[in-house]
Amino acid sequence: MTGSTDQYGGSIENRCRFALEIVEAIANEIGAHRVGIRLCPFANFSESGDSNPEALGLYIAESLNKYGILYCHMVAPRLTIVGENGDTPHSLLPMRKAFNGTFLVAGGYGREDGNKAVAEGGADLVAYGRIFLANPDLPKRFELDAPLNKYNRDTFYTPDPVVGYTDYPFLETTT
């Protein structure tokens, strides 16, 4: 949002100020080698969208370099509305190129596009959230190119300690 004109609104520098102040304070307290940040510059849900997400993401990625933090983890722009994936002209690549440390991406990646992101230099690491939850043996499934369990979004963030978190089946393999 660009409407606010206090020290945390208006310009890109001001809109990034709070996050950078937090990163600096934590890095000073525990060491930058123990600090990472996750950002979603393209997200636009719960009125959190920015008027210029590309410039915002690039500015914060460049600014994070001065703190020498361990990693920057960004969510790909393919998820801009909760539950909806689709083609987008936006990319994390400029932010990846701007950040000097380890760069992680997330946001609906599968085996092939995750491997492609790393192979083409778009990321150092890919985070798999929903599909890892539904596939507790995800590395083995990726190795074998085995089918994946489908996740059930209705069971996310429920108080039940079993349903949706520990009840997904493992891959049946014969040895």
81 forms bridges with which residues in the sheet?
84
DSSP letter at 124?
A: S
pLDDT for 66-98, tens place per residue?
999 999 999 988 644 444 445 555 689 999 999
pLDDT for 114-129, tens place per residue?
999 999 999 999 999 9
Q: Which pLDDT value is given to residue 91?
A: 86
Token pair of 173 as six digits: 């393999």
How, if at all, do strands 84-85 and 79-81 pair? antiparallel
Token pair of 119 as six digits: 């192979």
Show me where the domains of the chain are located. Answer: 35-127, 128-174
